[in-house]
Structure 1
Amino acid sequence: MLLELLHGSDSGGFVLIRDSVHYSGRHLLKSFINAALHREEHVHVLLFEVGEQELIYGFKEIQRLHIHNAYEDPLGWTSTTDLTTQHFCLNYLTKILNETSQQKASILVIDSLSWILRHVSTTTICSTLHQLKKGGAVKTIMGLLHADMHQKGTVGSVCHLATSLITVAPGKAGDNCTAMITKRTKSGKVLQEEHALKINEDLTITVLKKSSNAEPAVHEELQTDPTANLTFNLRLSDKEREAKEKLLLPFMFSNDKKNAFLHTGTGSGQILYEPDANDDYDQEDPDDDLDV
């Protein structure tokens, strides 16, 4: 799945790279930008955490790279940049995306969402990302998120929006790293793969090992007996099951009782009524007993 995302064959949606202090995901993000530039796609980068020179280092093609630099003044204190954290809204982002004369929808890269999350409400950011995903000006959104800088609820809200979540961690040797990819398909199915990879100096990626988070582990989990450690028994022995089947419940009729209710005799029933003194009834004066 990682190579499909990298080559743009599975475009669309929101690709989120989640890193931590143990391993930076910016190298992987630059690999995605480099691959998009090689495909001759227009890439817009909202730059908050690093300078422009550091971002473009290693890129051989930058003709279609559009950098919106907020690194020098991300909060707008000196008014030296046109982009600040407060500009992260649908109208402004759509405007800067449409300023370039490209025929196809662009790729929007956010480096990084953590800077914006520290100064803009999570609700506003999630709403803007959701609207951008639905809009026609953006083909794919890519973002970098430092998970250990935010509360779990904030990280979970942003990750829930991602159609593809890539969690990076340090590898076992050298410059290698591991990447856990979680992909949500349009049908609602969730796929997972784990890659051991190496990011080369030319920003290409070499996959060293790939493993699918697969059905054996899920199957083993489903086969676990939930009644194994209970202090009481939920199962019946053969004798107990036989006694249960023979037991007659109060609302059940035995065969003898059924036959007694359903038996039809040869004779016929007759109702006898003997009126007493108080039953003097005059058909001509029905209200005679009312003494009126």
Structure 2
Amino acid sequence: MLLEVSEAAQAGGVVIIRDTTSYSGRHLLKYYINCALKREEDVHVLGFEVPEQELRAGLDSNYMHWFHFHNAYIDPLGWTKQSSFTVKQFTTADVTRLVREIQHAKASILVIDSLSWVIRHHNPVAVCQQLQELKRGGSVRMIFGLLHTDLHQQGIVDSICHLASTVISVTSVNHAHHAVAKTMHRKKSGKVIREEEFFTVKDDLTLSIEKRSGQSGHVQMQPDTKADPTSNLTFNLRLSEVEREAREKVALPFVFSQEKKSALLKQSQGSGRIIYEPDASDDFDEEDPDDDLDV
């Protein structure tokens, strides 16, 4: 799925690359920048954490006229007035103005390196609102953001990732040369696709998808056989043909025979009634029938 992320036709997509101090996601971010440049798309980078020369290293020099770095690395907070962009300018209006000032294509790719810088100096709710407005504004086709998850509370990370169409969580694998990427992609229909891949970003920013070492070879599948739960019982649950025939001949207690039905439905010739005649010892008061009760 990593190979399809940058080529997603879905407009207004937000891709969040989650990393930690154990493994940096910037190499994967640069791979997606390089892919966009080769497609001749304007790439606008809001650079807070690394200088422009470091981010340019490895990118295809034949397409660098599509690359636009808005330098917030020198003075991210605007104290010395040396940066062309500061973290305080992360608003829908300011970012849209930057993109439209230098834009060849109809829609550009916006890269935020990194979102952690923005979140630490803005209200996380406001950051979510700005990202929502940017992806719906029409000037930006896709947004890529690098997020250092170990710098923020889990609730803030979840809020940022909730508005993303794709979330890629990268971690190292036993200090090996490759890493693992757990990708969650949310389609417009609401369907969520998850995939785990082992990858390597080479020096020339080519992406190599690898399999887990030790998984090579064939895994022999055991046939799906169901055990007989009655095989070890001390009594028999099955009936022979003779026993089955004898069982069928037994009349059930709730089933009436024809003779019993006829007897119950046969009308009686006469009718009976009970006549009670009180004697002299009976003390019966018609006005108070319960007078003889000791209540």
2:85 counterpart letter in structure 1? L
- Report the CA distance between 1:145 and its aligned residue: 0.1
2:98 counterpart letter in structure 1? I
- Report the CA distance between 1:46 and its aligned residue: 0.2
- Report the equivalent of 2:128: 126
2:29 counterpart letter in structure 1? L
Q: Deviations over 1:42-95 (max 9, x none)?
A: 100000000011000111231100000000100011111121111000000110
Distance verdict in 2 for CA 1:205–1:86, change over 3 Å: same
- Report the CA distance between 1:39 and its aligned residue: 1.0
Q: Deviations over 1:8-54 (max 9, x none)?
A: 45564100000001100000000000111111111000000000110
Query: Does 1:64 find its partner at 2:66?
Result: yes
Name the CA distance, whole Å, in 1 between partners of 2:179 and 2:156. 25
Q: Paired residue for 1:166, among 143, 162, 168?
A: 168
| Counterpart contact for 1:58–1:201, Cα < 8 Å | yes
- Report the equivalent of 1:24: 24
Match runs of 1:239-278 below 5 Å: none
Name the CA distance, whole Å, in 2 between partners of 1:27 and 1:108. 17
| Greater C-alpha radius of gyration | 2
SS at match of 1:104: coil
Name the CA distance, whole Å, in 2 between partners of 1:120 and 1:158. 13
Match runs of 1:136-285 below 5 Å: 136-172=138-174, 174-209=176-211
- Report the CA distance between 1:183 and its aligned residue: 0.6
- Report the equivalent of 2:45: 45
| Counterpart contact for 1:176–1:197, Cα < 8 Å | yes
- Report the equivalent of 1:54: 54
| Counterpart contact for 1:5–1:11, Cα < 8 Å | no
Q: Which runs of 5+ in 1 are unaligned?
A: 211-292
1:134 counterpart letter in structure 2? R
Structure 1 stretches of 4+ with a deviation exceeding 6 A read none
- Report the equivalent of 1:245: none
Name the CA distance, whole Å, in 1 between partners of 2:32 and 2:105. 21
For the aligned residues, what is the CA RMSD? 1.4
TM-score by length of 2: 0.69
Query: Does 1:5 find its partner at 2:5?
Result: yes
Segment drifting more, 42-51 vs 6-15: 6-15
| Counterpart contact for 2:12–2:136, Cα < 8 Å | no
Name the CA distance, whole Å, in 2 between partners of 1:11 and 1:127. 18
| Counterpart contact for 2:42–2:105, Cα < 8 Å | no
| Counterpart contact for 1:47–1:111, Cα < 8 Å | yes
Q: Which runs of 5+ in 2 are unaligned?
A: 213-295
TM-score by length of 1: 0.69
1:21 counterpart letter in structure 2? T
Name the CA distance, whole Å, in 1 between partners of 2:211 and 2:135. 32
